[in-house]
């Protein structure tokens, strides 16, 4: 476990309570043909069940729900008891290196997953597969902006508008969209991944009225009109528009790049007793049909070019997402080798008033 950073080891210090609280089962307790998948809840989980799991013949899937940080803590706690709590886990990009070094996930055998071979090289990692990414920008209520005489935002810094006071939300550090937003603010103010200090000052200038952890709660506030704008992923804009909330998306710049990707890695947990089931499940998730259906349902962008092309046939997805290869390849991705996330967490806690 030496490869896991100190904060993850500390985060798993409640090992025994976690085992009891979440009902982590021994690997030997898994029924034949059963697969356990650690993922988010709500509509994301529902889409996986409908568009991926149900299409894998003879495989019954059970879900452990939570964000990747929480599921990592469960995994570490279970491993200390020589247990395997789930077989497949969805993660965050910054988790892949420490998890692989710590022996928590296993190498991907692409020969056992032929559909995954069609993914671009950047999506096929040694320990992770990236089937979908979210696209991060600023989601804003176009009608409210027009009524208030506010120009559509072009930069994260444009959110420091007095007319948005009390109407602005910002992703807290536990939400995935936090990272592109704060890195974007660093770039806008002379910093980058290696120099995040300007981002803390920029957040203070924006002075959000609400820091959100759960996107489902933020969606409710957008729907009620309480929130007019937030750095968020555009998939939620797609979902809100389907519910007749008049939102749009502004993609900001990061140096020479426009818009930001947040890859959603898939892992196979080391020691899984159902390796074939895990491979079959992920191979279906990486298929053009699985990527298209899951992507359309969640507003996420497939790595598979054919699935993206089909998604572009949907007018709403085409309006709010960027789907062509050129724009996807031009989008920004955080260089985690430069970003000291532990240091940023300390800065965030110390300097940002929430």
pLDDT attached to residue 66: 92
Question: Which parts of the chain sit beneath pLDDT 50?
Answer: 1-32
Contact 305, 109 (CB under 8 A): no
Domains parsed from the chain with CATH numbers: 6-131+263-312 (3.40.190.10), 133-260+336-351 (3.40.190.10)
Chain centroid, CA 103 distance in Å: 22
Entry pTM: 0.85
pLDDT attached to residue 107: 98
Residue 85 φ then ψ, to 5°: -75, -25
CA dist 152 and 139 (Å) reads: 10
CA dist 124 and 101 (Å) reads: 18
Q: Decide: residue 233, CB within 10 A, 0-12 exposed, 13-18 middle, 19+ buried.
A: buried
CA dist 140 and 249 (Å) reads: 6
């Amino acid at each position: 476990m030496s490869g896991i950073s100190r904060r993850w080891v500390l985060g798993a210090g409640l090992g025994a309570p976690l085992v009891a609280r979440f009902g982590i089962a021994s690997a030997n307790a898994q029924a034949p043909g059963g697969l356990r998948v650690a993922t988010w809840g709500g509509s994301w989980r529902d889409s996986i069940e409908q568009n991926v799991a149900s299409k894998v013949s003879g495989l019954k899937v059970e879900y452990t729900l939570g964000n990747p940080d929480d599921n990592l803590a469960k995994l570490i706690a279970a491993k200390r008891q020589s247990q395997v709590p789930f077989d497949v886990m969805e993660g965050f990009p910054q988790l892949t290196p420490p998890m692989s070094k710590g022996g928590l996930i296993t190498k991907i055998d692409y020969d056992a997953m032929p559909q995954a071979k069609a993914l671009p090289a950047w999506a096929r990692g040694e320990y992770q597969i990236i089937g979908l990414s979210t696209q991060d920008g600023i989601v804003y209520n176009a009608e409210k902006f027009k009524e208030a005489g506010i120009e559509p935002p072009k930069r994260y810094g444009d959110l420091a508008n007095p007319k948005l006071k009390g109407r602005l939300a910002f992703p807290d550090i536990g939400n995935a969209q936090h990272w592109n937003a704060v890195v974007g603010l660093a770039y806008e103010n002379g910093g980058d991944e290696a120099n995040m200090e300007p981002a803390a000052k920029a957040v203070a200038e924006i002075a959000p009225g609400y820091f959100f952890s759960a996107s489902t709660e933020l969606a409710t506030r957008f729907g009620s009109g309480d929130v007019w704008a937030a750095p968020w992923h555009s998939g939620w804009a797609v979902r809100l528009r389907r519910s007749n909330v008049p939102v749009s998306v502004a993609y900001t710049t990061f140096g020479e790049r426009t818009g930001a990707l947040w890859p959603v890695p898939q892992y196979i947990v080391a020691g899984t007793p159902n390796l074939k089931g895990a491979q079959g499940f992920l191979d279906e998730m990486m298929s053009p049909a699985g990527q298209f259906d899951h992507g359309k349902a969640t507003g996420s962008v497939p790595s598979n070019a054919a699935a993206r092309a089909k998604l572009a046939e949907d007018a709403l997805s085409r309006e709010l997402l960027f789907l062509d290869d050129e724009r996807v390849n031009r989008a920004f991705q955080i260089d985690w080798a430069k970003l000291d996330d532990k240091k940023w967490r300390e800065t965030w806690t110390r300097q940002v008033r929430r």
